[in-house]
């Protein structure tokens, strides 16, 4: 696993955005895995700046969201489809119908989850998957005890995750849905490159467990250790509990191998 420690979320966002722009420019039909929440916002802002400077076009890019809430009214501003349209897709030249999100409004959610994994495979698989991490170590919304081989499916959020996400719902945990559709850990592991981002002291324990802890379903983000090409980009605060952080600085500082092995 590559661990890159950056001086700020903006510096980390810019580093990752450059890698995404290079990837998009080098592929006829690039496929990105898109995360929501606060963490990827510096990446999206930097990609929009690159698009505005005519350095990159997303006209042929397909994007697959990690997850979607179940139970929100359609077009609710915090549904992850709306968030991704607002924060990224509609700020660049990516057509709305090139954004794919799990169908949290489907009558048959099991079928919708299966169809989602099929649509990722039909697109040729995900070239680069952006990931945040929950304070409990979730990736996507794979909460602790998720199978590390899971497909896209329905999950129930933990109280901790609902409390963490209440800030997007007027600060009231009662407004946060209980259920979500999420790419499974197995789905995520099929992407060709995983890039997990984390900023701030609040993520320091999750980052240390992800990178240096034992692989366990209790911390689903530890599944990254099983992937041949995973990059973790963190700021100083999020890196603060990594035992080998001086080693990572020496080996990877500012020069991750985005091409992989």
Catalytic residue ranges = 67, 136, 138, 143
Is 13 near ligand F6R (CB under 6 A)? no
Q: Residues 124 to 163: which contact ligand F6R by CB under 6 A?
A: 132-134, 138-141
Cα dist from 175 to 76, 130, 168, 172, 244, whole Å: 12, 26, 9, 6, 40
Three-state DSSP class for residue 255: coil
> Measured between alpha carbons, how far is 80 from 34 in angstroms, rounded to an integer?
10
> Measured between alpha carbons, how far is 235 from 203 in angstroms, rounded to an integer?
10
x/- site string to ligand F6R, residues 49 to 68, per CB under 6 A? -----------------xx-
x/- site string to ligand F6R, residues 84 to 123, per CB under 6 A? ----------------------------------------
Q: Residues 24 to 43: which contact ligand F6R by CB under 6 A?
A: 35-39
Least distance (Å) between residue 194 CB and ligand F6R: 13
Would you say 140 or 256 has its CB closer to ligand F6R? 140
Output the six-digit token pair for 86: 């607002």
Output the six-digit token pair for 225: 């250790």
> Measured between alpha carbons, how far is 60 from 146 in angstroms, rounded to an integer?
33
Give the number of residues in contact with ligand F6R, rule: CB under 6 A.
14
> Measured between alpha carbons, how far is 1 from 117 in angstroms, rounded to an integer?
25
Widest CA span of the chain, in angstroms?
A: 52
Least distance (Å) between residue 251 CB and ligand F6R: 26
Where on the chain is the footprint of ligand F6R (CB under 6 A)? 35-39, 66-67, 132-134, 138-141
């Amino acid at each position: 696993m590559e661990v890159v420690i950056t001086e700020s979320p903006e510096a980390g966002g810019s580093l990752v955005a450059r890698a995404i722009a290079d990837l998009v420019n080098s592929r006829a039909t690039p496929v990105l895995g898109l995360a929501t929440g606060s963490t990827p916002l510096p990446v999206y802002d930097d990609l929009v700046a690159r698009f505005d400077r005519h350095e990159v076009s997303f006209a042929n890019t397909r994007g697959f969201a990690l997850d979607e809430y179940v139970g929100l009214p359609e077009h609710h501003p915090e549904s992850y489809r709306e968030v991704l349209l607002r924060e990224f897709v509609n700020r660049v030249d990516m057509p709305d119908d090139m954004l794919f999100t799990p169908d949290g409004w489907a009558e048959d959610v099991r079928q919708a989850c299966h169809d989602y994994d099929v649509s990722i495979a039909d697109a040729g698989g995900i070239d680069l998957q952006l990931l945040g991490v929950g304070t409990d170590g979730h990736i996507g919304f794979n909460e602790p005890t998720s199978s590390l081989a899971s497909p896209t499916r329905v999950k129930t959020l933990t109280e901790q995750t609902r409390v963490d996400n209440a800030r997007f719902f007027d600060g009231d945990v009662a407004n946060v849905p209980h259920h979500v559709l999420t790419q499974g850990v197995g789905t995520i592991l099929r992407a060709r490159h995983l890039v997990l981002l984390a900023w701030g002291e609040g993520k320091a324990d999750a980052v240390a467990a992800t990178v240096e802890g034992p692989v366990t379903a209790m911390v689903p983000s530890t599944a990254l250790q099983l992937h041949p090409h995973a990059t973790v980009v963190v700021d100083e605060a999020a890196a603060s509990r990594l035992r080998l952080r001086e080693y990572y600085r020496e080996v990877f500082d500012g020069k991750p191998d985005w091409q992989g092995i």
